[in-house]
Chains A and B, each alone.
Chain A
Amino acid sequence: MYIFLGAIIILLGSMLVREAHKGKIHRANYEEQDRLLTRYAAEHLDLEKRLSDMKYDYDKQQEMADEIQRIQQQIRALKHDMKNHTLVILSYLEENKTAEAKEYAGEILNKLNKMYTYVHVGNSLLNYIINSKLSQAKEQGIEIKAEIENLSFAYMDSVDFSALLNNMLDNAICAALHSRRKKLEIDIASKKGVDIITVRNSIDESVLNRNPELKSSKEDPGHGYGIGQIRTITEKYTGSVDIYEKEEMFVVSVMLLFAPA
């Protein structure tokens, strides 16, 4: 009798153990699937982020290509104009009308002097960004002062470089437009063996006092939005960002060192 009961207990016990074990397996399975699901979700988010980044870069590059095409067209138009002008001067000279030829040449010179003198450096990306942004700023009535050293920034990815410089200039141009004096200064230099980009814009009153975190808002257009990206890119190249105000100018200065390891 006792033996019988004992056998049943043992049997029940072993069944319970087996059930519990099955439950454990189930739970383990469930946890495993949960982990996978989270991982897939995270990977999906990462991919989406990368896709949107790539779309952004693609748009920027497209914009750049359009701009280059626009400049080429301008050069063609300029060549065409110069040809016409020369023909006019030549025809005056053939008729011995020197006074007219002189006057005509003077007029052209006047016109040319009014055009913005572009900077020319070996780094074509730097050239392109500076020239397009400067003329854009100039068109909007901003007064410009630039000091540019011919640096290659070869250790930087060109997408990062253009995002950084475009951001710094876009912010400064936008902020300068909202100020009374409308001034913009750019300084690109290698000092003490480190590359430094400094962009200054005029301000009417301190931005840092009112908005030390530089959150983008209606009162502070321009800065804010881009600062985050400027910091991210700078950090990637082991650099440093210095933001300060001096003599009614808002200054963003960026130091860049070397390519990420």
Chain B
Amino acid sequence: MYRIVICDDETEILNDLYQKIQGSFQKNGISADYTCFSDARVLMEHMQTQRIDVLFLDIDMPYHNGMDIAGYINSQKLPAILIFVTSHDALVYQTFAYRPFGFIRKSHLEEELDHLTKRVIRELSENQQELIFQKGSELCRILLNDIIYIEGEGNYLALQLKNDRLRIRETMTNLENKLMDKGFIRCHKGYLANTRHIAKLKSAELLLQWGDETVSLPIGRSYEKEVREKILAAFRN
């Protein structure tokens, strides 16, 4: 069950938001646990102990404004999908750290909520996608999110996971075909990278980051253009 939290200091708007957000998720076949806050301080306390999947947040609130809370979520690396709710048409972020998943305007609530809900659901379900493969006589399942990159090792492939490294008997081409629509890109003859973990794209290398670890994968000359195109296409929304 997804946990959705809504926070706005004006209770009337908060109630309206709840009705519409709940309706929108319902319409898309998602039932969730909803929690509403009208005080940002209470929300902050709640965040310290509870997991939140989606957070709808008014930007202009007393005590902690939306940007503060966004900064907190980012610094604590909380997995919440953050959405700003605002009456402004234009938002400016001083750094990436304050950037939400998206923003919706109170003046266009229903229309924008509809688009956004679909995007959020896609993101949530993408986070649960798995790679299923045979290892010996066992059938293994791994969350795609947990794979950092895949490296060719002779007749085997090594899956670099967040806390582990697995060897499976499979060809790079096979796995590439399986994963190419799922956020993976071939950056080199011997490497398949998960775009979710890209930290930086350099001229001949791709920097991947997870936790406190960083690794640099080479980009093959013939893959350069494709890598750029695929990374850009991964941002379509």
Given A147-B103, A253-B236, A255-B231, the answer on whether A193 and B91 have CB atoms closer than 8 Å is no
Is the contact region of chain B dominated by helix, strand, or loop, or is it mixed? mixed
Stretch from A77-85, A159-167, A217-225, A237-245 that touches the partner: A237-245
Q: Mark A176-191, 1 if CB is under 8 A from B, else 0.
A: 0000000000000111
Any A CB within 8 A of the CB of B199: yes
In the docked arrangement, what's the CA distance between A226 and B83, Å?
33
Q: Return A257 CB to nearest CB of chain B, in Å.
A: 7
Flag if B95 contacts A193 (CB, 8 Å): no
Chain A residue nearest to B93 in the complex (CB): A149
Q: Return A131 CB to nearest CB of chain B, in Å.
A: 10
Flag if B231 contacts A238 (CB, 8 Å): no
Any B CB within 8 A of the CB of A139: no
Stretch from A33-41, A93-101, A115-123 that touches the partner: A115-123
Question: Which residues of A sit under 8 angstroms from B96, Cβ to Cβ?
Answer: 149, 189-190
Question: Which residues of A sit under 8 angstroms from B236, Cβ to Cβ?
Answer: 242, 244, 246, 251, 253
Flag if B235 contacts A121 (CB, 8 Å): no
In the docked arrangement, what's the CA distance between A149 and B95, Å?
6
Flag if A145 contacts B105 (CB, 8 Å): yes
Count how many chain A residues have C-beta atoms less than 8 Å from C-beta atoms of the other chain.
Answer: 34
Question: Which residues of B sit under 8 angstroms from A239, Cβ to Cβ?
Answer: 228
Question: Which residues of A sit under 8 angstroms from B93, Cβ to Cβ?
Answer: 147-150
In the docked arrangement, what's the CA distance between A190 and B97, Å?
11
Any B CB within 8 A of the CB of A111: no
Any B CB within 8 A of the CB of A144: yes
Is the contact region of chain A dominated by helix, strand, or loop, or is it mixed? strand
Flag if B90 contacts A194 (CB, 8 Å): no
Flag if A119 contacts B231 (CB, 8 Å): no
Any A CB within 8 A of the CB of B115: yes
Q: Return A179 CB to nearest CB of chain B, in Å.
A: 16
Question: Which residues of B sit under 8 angstroms from A253, Cβ to Cβ?
Answer: 232, 235-236
Q: Return A125 CB to nearest CB of chain B, in Å.
A: 15
Q: Return A260 CB to nearest CB of chain B, in Å.
A: 11
Flag if A196 contacts B88 (CB, 8 Å): no
Q: Return A135 CB to nearest CB of chain B, in Å.
A: 11
Any A CB within 8 A of the CB of B1: no
Question: Which residues of B sit under 8 angstroms from A191, Cβ to Cβ?
Answer: 235
Flag if A147 contacts B201 (CB, 8 Å): no
Flag if A119 contacts B90 (CB, 8 Å): yes
Any B CB within 8 A of the CB of A192: yes
Most A CB within 10 A of own CB, among B89, B115, B200: B89
Can you list 25 pairs linking A and B with CB atoms under 8 Å apart? Answer: A117-B88, A117-B89, A119-B90, A120-B92, A144-B90, A146-B90, A146-B91, A147-B103, A148-B90, A148-B92, A149-B96, A150-B95, A189-B96, A189-B99, A193-B199, A198-B235, A239-B228, A241-B232, A242-B229, A244-B236, A251-B236, A253-B235, A255-B232, A257-B201, A257-B203
Given contacts A194-B231, A240-B225, 11 further A-B contacts (CB under 8 A): A119-B90, A119-B92, A144-B89, A147-B103, A192-B199, A193-B198, A196-B232, A198-B235, A240-B229, A251-B236, A253-B232
Binding site for A on B (CB under 8 A): 88-96, 99, 103, 105, 115, 195, 198-201, 203, 207, 225, 228-229, 231-233, 235-236
Binding site for B on A (CB under 8 A): 117-121, 134, 144-150, 189-194, 196, 198, 238-242, 244, 246-247, 251, 253, 255, 257-258
